[in-house]
Structure 1
Amino acid sequence: MAKVKLIDVARFAGVSKSTASQFLNGRFDYMSKETQERIRAAVAELDYVPNPIARNLKATKTKTIGVVVRDITGFYSSRVIRGVDDYCKANSYNALIYNTDFDPETEAKSIEALYQLRVDGIIIASSGNNTQLISEYINKGMPIVHFQIENDGSEQNIILSDYKKAAFDATEYLINLGHKRICFVTQDFKNVNSRIERYQGYADALSKHDIPLDDNLVQRWDRETGFQTAPKDIIKSHAPTAFFTQHLPITVELLRGLNRANISVPDDVSLLGFDEVPMAEFFKVPITVVKQEPYSIGVEASKLLLNNIAKETNISHKILIPCSLEIRESCKAI
């Protein structure tokens, strides 16, 4: 079936294309009731659906933003998206969601596609590999707000959890339980400020309590290859009494490794994770976590972006959202 165009509606109603367009855009103050009814009947009879992209190409503002996330199914990302969507709806904006699966090339294509769709601004959890491309679009007048991760610090507008304080508080909680050998499990944090901040919070808490920093207790995890050293081997070689994991997938994989090795939490080793664990209340041993506020981050990112769009300026802001410590049963005093 051929797609019905605006000119088809106009011909069917016996009016000009301009008159039909004015009706569809709600501008019919000086249009007779009879003309309005003819156009309305033509739209219904032909089942005409306006093309929003074509409208956007002519509009100064499209009332649409883009959101680029690394994993749309993730516990954190899904709640950020909900915060963005709720705030946008309340302010008569629509959000287009793009998923990158952690691929910088897909991320670049997503940004380019959103620009071509004439969105008014973009919220992005960036890989850090498209800094120049993002700067180019900002220089073209595209407001962009980052969230979740700060890479090299060049991000002009960004909403983050207060990672340093959260890591400090979590480490100090374990220290107050008597733990001095706390294994910090993280992704590679070279040139990634958000991961450096977590490490610094951990190191500062040890320093405050005069506990030497043992490099053997700073372990790496990679999304593709897993742990640098298997959890059971870390325990055997370096005798940590607690693990402090820095990302939900690390927590999940660590739990699997401990279960396979018949290492009990918290009887054999305590565990504290960064990021909420879905359905933690149903675990045999619910996990103590640093709880972020992704919904609030989504709301604040949207608020900052829409403010920049309205003012047509890109004043630099870095906003930190506090975290909280959700104490459960996976950590015990020693």
Structure 2
Amino acid sequence: MKNITIGEVAEQAKVSKSTVSQYLNKRYEYMSEATRKRIEAAIEELNYHPNIVARSLKQKSTFTVGVIVANILHSFSTQILRTIENDLNKTGFHVIICNADDQPEKERNYIEMLLAKQVDGLIIFPTGGNIDLYEQMKKKNFPVVFMDRKIEELGIDTVMLDNHQAARMAISEFVESDYTKISIITTSIIRNTSPRVERIEGYKAAMTEHGLPVLPEYIKTADAEDLQGVLQELFALEAPPEAILAGNDIVLIEVLKFAKEHRLAIPGDVAVIGIDEVSFASFYTPPITVVAQPTIKMANKATELLLEQINSENKTARTAIYRLQPSLIKRDSC
């Protein structure tokens, strides 16, 4: 099959090659509707496909962005990824998505692979285990944005939830419903994963603000596979909790599973609030109260920040942390 050139498209549409190039790059400001339609028709008639490699060499860009998610099993992660991919696709960028499984070595391999492929930028949910690589990218002013997790000493643009406020909202809702024995459970904080640590800090602050004791035995963190054991310990206490704040969707699933297996009524035997809206929360019996993250706004902001860096001629260091506000969705589990 013959490769159709941009020149042949221009000849067919009776325009210049630069006009076709502007059309392909979606620069329509000085182009009439009639011209656009002629170019579109010529492309379709000739079955023209742009030469991505040639375009990349000419514009010194691969029009590709890498996104490295810490754990793709979180509903939050998949919602963020969907929006990032959609936002970048609208601007002509392709997206390579990698799942690090919260493993620093896996994350390192992905970062090195994506840099070798000369992606134009990275959005990373950092594991926190590759400080040297993060520092190298910052020193070279390589476009990078952190999502969901901060590493403050690096001063890299970061988009995340106001996690303290998320925990406060949940505790206030419990207190308004007359619960005082309130537990928080999160997945492991072994590498000081900032959302989990901050939600525990927010829980402690809120309990203190409401004049309630902060009991160490009510604060639990564990890997996902150990959460059932943690729940066994909690409900074996002399004074088990009346309410549980599930720090993320994975914890919420394990709490609901435990309640079902042990025939604990929600909220009669234990009230439950989860951080992160999940697809089943609204139709579970009873429907689950959640503190939702503004996932679309967070993804939009991360994409905006990355494109600003990619398109900026002055590649200066970025240092801002953008915190977006959660919202409480009241249902019947509290």
TM range (shorter): 0.7 to 0.9
Query: Across the two proteins, how many residue pairs are aligned to each other?
Result: 304
By how many angstroms is 1:111 displaced? 1.4
By how many angstroms is 1:222 displaced? 0.8
Given residue 123 of structure 1, which amino acid in structure 2 is its aligned partner?
I
CA distance in 2, matches of 1:136, 1:118: 15
State which drifts further: 260-269 or 309-318: 309-318
Q: After superposition, give the CA deviation of every residue in 1:260-280 in whole Å (9 maximum; x if it has no partner).
A: 111111111101111112132
The residue aligned with 2:210 is: 209
Q: Does 1:110 align with 2:99?
A: no
CA contact (8 A) 2:185 2:246 kept: yes
TM-score (norm. length: structure 2): 0.81
Given residue 126 of structure 2, which amino acid in structure 1 is its aligned partner?
S
Specify the SS of the correspondent of 1:259.
helix
Q: Does 1:28 align with 2:29?
A: no
The residue aligned with 2:23 is: none
CA contact (8 A) 1:70 1:102 kept: yes
Cα RMSD after superposing both structures? 2.9
CA distance in 1, matches of 2:141, 2:16: 30
By how many angstroms is 1:194 displaced? 2.4
CA distance in 2, matches of 1:309, 1:178: 51
CA distance in 2, matches of 1:278, 1:105: 31
CA distance in 2, matches of 1:254, 1:134: 35
The residue aligned with 2:328 is: 325
CA distance in 2, matches of 1:294, 1:248: 14
Q: After superposition, give the CA deviation of every residue in 1:79-114 in whole Å (9 maximum; x if it has no partner).
A: 112221232233333322222233322221221222
Q: After superposition, give the CA deviation of every residue in 1:279-304 in whole Å (9 maximum; x if it has no partner).
A: 32221111111101112111100001
Gap change, CA 1:72 and 1:240, over 3 Å in 2: closer
Q: Does 1:290 align with 2:291?
A: yes
By how many angstroms is 1:176 displaced? 1.8
CA contact (8 A) 2:66 2:123 kept: yes
The residue aligned with 1:129 is: 129
Structure with greater Cα Rg: 1
The residue aligned with 1:250 is: 251
Which ranges in structure 2 are unaligned for 5 or more consecutive residues? Answer: 20-41
The residue aligned with 1:90 is: 90
The residue aligned with 2:31 is: none
CA distance in 2, matches of 1:320, 1:198: 14
Q: After superposition, give the CA deviation of every residue in 1:218-253 in whole Å (9 maximum; x if it has no partner).
A: 112213433452x24412313211001101111101
Specify the SS of the correspondent of 2:17.
coil
CA contact (8 A) 1:183 1:217 kept: yes
Gap change, CA 1:255 and 1:151, over 3 Å in 2: farther
The residue aligned with 1:167 is: 167
CA contact (8 A) 1:220 1:227 kept: no
State which drifts further: 305-314 or 211-220: 305-314
State which drifts further: 131-140 or 270-279: 131-140
Given residue 213 of structure 1, which amino acid in structure 2 is its aligned partner?
V
CA contact (8 A) 1:143 1:314 kept: no
The residue aligned with 1:149 is: 149
By how many angstroms is 1:120 displaced? 1.5
CA contact (8 A) 1:221 1:250 kept: no
CA distance in 2, matches of 1:232, 1:263: 12
By how many angstroms is 1:55 displaced? 4.4
By how many angstroms is 1:328 displaced? 0.6
State which drifts further: 176-185 or 88-97: 88-97
State which drifts further: 210-219 or 191-200: 191-200
CA contact (8 A) 1:234 1:240 kept: yes
CA contact (8 A) 1:56 1:117 kept: no
Gap change, CA 1:134 and 1:283, over 3 Å in 2: same
State which drifts further: 164-173 or 53-62: 53-62
By how many angstroms is 1:53 displaced? 4.5
CA distance in 1, matches of 2:82, 2:93: 14
Q: After superposition, give the CA deviation of every residue in 1:97-146 in whole Å (9 maximum; x if it has no partner).
A: 22223332222122122212222111111111112112212322311100
CA distance in 1, matches of 2:289, 2:55: 50
CA distance in 2, matches of 1:236, 1:24: 74
By how many angstroms is 1:76 displaced? 1.1
CA contact (8 A) 2:6 2:17 kept: no
CA distance in 2, matches of 1:267, 1:140: 56
Q: After superposition, give the CA deviation of every residue in 1:149-204 in whole Å (9 maximum; x if it has no partner).
A: 22565351100011011111211111121111101112333533322211111111
CA contact (8 A) 1:128 1:152 kept: no
The residue aligned with 2:60 is: 60
TM-score (norm. length: structure 1): 0.81
CA distance in 1, matches of 2:245, 2:132: 34
By how many angstroms is 1:329 displaced? 0.6
Q: Does 1:180 align with 2:180?
A: yes
Gap change, CA 1:86 and 1:49, over 3 Å in 2: closer
CA contact (8 A) 1:83 1:297 kept: no
